[in-house]
Amino acid sequence: MGEQHTPTFPQEVIDEYAAFGVDLPALFSAGHLGTRMGVQILEASAERVVGTMPVEGNTQPYGLLHGGASAVLAETLGSVGSMLHGGSSKLAVGVDLNCTHHRGVRSGLVTGVATPVHRGRSTATYEIVISDEEGKRVCTARLTCLLRELPAK
């Protein structure tokens, strides 16, 4: 579903994960679901995560962008931000997702931008704004992730 794009990461994040031999683009991808839906992460840091998703292939029976597709994009972007905030010693697990759908979209590409609302030691909350190609807001979402310590190896 389109060409693959490697997200950009801050150098200090690349260095932190490189010490563990971790492939950041694979770790912070949208996974199999995101791949099937055409989600592409363009930019990723704890302060801002940007990604896109095509409307085509992600519609409901009336031909509009499916609300669940918007939720997948929102949760993907918010989770990436939460993981980057938590660092290499924590795992981000979504515990609450809220999406308000403002307008329908029938074609093109939507872009989501996740920015932090709260970044604590045990939780992170991100607001995700999804817009159409004209910059009109399609959906506003909020994701809260629990930050769990990774088990010792």
Report which DSSP code applies to 8: B
Per-residue buried b or exposed e for 91-113, using 16+ beta carbons within 10 Å of the residue's own CB: ebeeeebebebeeebeeebbbbb
Give the CA distances from residue 104 to residues 16, 23, 101, 137, 138, in Å, rounded to whole numbers and listed in that order. Answer: 41, 36, 8, 10, 7
Give the CA distances from residue 57 to residues 39, 51, 141, in Å, rounded to whole numbers and listed in that order. Answer: 11, 17, 21
- Residue 16 known to be catalytic: no
Does an H or E element contain 128, and which?
strand 123-131
Catalytic residue among 43, 56, 75, 149: 75
**In 3D, which of 39, 29, 127, 34 has the Cα closest to residue 83?**
29
The catalytic residue positions are 75
